[in-house]
Amino acid sequence: MAEGRVAKGMIMAVLAVELVILIVILGLASWSLDMYIDGRQNHPRKIVSLSFSLVLLNLVNLGGNAATNYMVIFALLGGTTGVASIIVGYSHYRAWKVETMAAAASSAAIAWSMMGLAFGLAWKEVRLGGPRGKHLRTLEIFIIISTLIQMFYLMALHAGNFNQKYGPSYGRTGPQPAGEGPSSEAQKSSGNEPGSA
């Protein structure tokens, strides 16, 4: 079996799903930020008097609470770093070498940490409650899903360290048997054998 066929087939599907989710996150977060910049975040309500009764009309379906501004900003940051991570991940998928895995893993770790901050703020926004529109609730759900998928992608990238059938690894760790490893190959090519001085 070729090196890493199990993870290689799985990683492409994960990248495709994550790209769609990140595009949705970027769209919703951009729209929400635009609404906040325009000053339409406070769920304006208008009191209309009809035959001695008060009726509340919601004019804008955004809402939010104290965590919303920060969640939207970190969702944009996490979404853009996530898209960059997917581009590097696709490059690694095509090459499927240890040399490209380092770039893919580091960019995926950065994107996951940025989305993790947005994840924490999304949980805080849910916990604080208050009037939140459908767009913000959808953004919260997609942030949570994206964080979990990015964590799975990061684990799939590093699965080769545990078993070669899951992908390339950074190299063998721990003590190596005598006659193996980079130092023995360098000695053989130079003509020096260990112990011959």
1 within some domain: no
Residues of the domain holding 97: 9-169
Residue 20: burial class (beta carbons within 10 Å; 0-12, 13-18, 19+): exposed
161 within some domain: yes
118 within some domain: yes
Res 54: pLDDT: 37
Rounded average pLDDT over 93-114? 91
* pLDDT tens for each residue of 3-43: 566 677 788 999 999 999 999 999 999 998 888 888 766 54
Model confidence band, residue 145 (pLDDT cutoffs 50, 70, 90): very high
195 within some domain: no
* pLDDT tens for each residue of 151-188: 999 988 887 766 666 666 666 443 444 555 454 454 55
154 within some domain: yes
Residue 144 in this model has a pLDDT that exceeds 70: yes
> Which of 117, 107, 197, 102 minimizes the C-alpha distance to 158?
102
Q: Per the structure, how many domains does the chain have?
A: 1
CA distance 78 to 32: 15
Res 194: pLDDT: 55
* pLDDT tens for each residue of 37-91: 887 665 444 444 444 333 333 334 467 788 888 999 999 999 999 999 999 999 9
Please state the pTM of the whole predicted model. Answer: 0.73
The two tokens of residue 118 are 């947005």
Rounded average pLDDT over 89-104? 88
196 within some domain: no
97 within some domain: yes
Res 165: pLDDT: 62
114 within some domain: yes
Q: Kindly write down the DSSP assignment for every residue of 127-191, as one continuous string.
A: HH---B-HHHHHHHHHHHHHHHHHHHHHHHHGGGGT-GGG---S---S---TT-SHHHHHHHHHT
Res 49: pLDDT: 45
Rounded average pLDDT over 114-123? 95
Whether the CB-CB separation of 150 and 18 falls below 8 Å is answered with yes
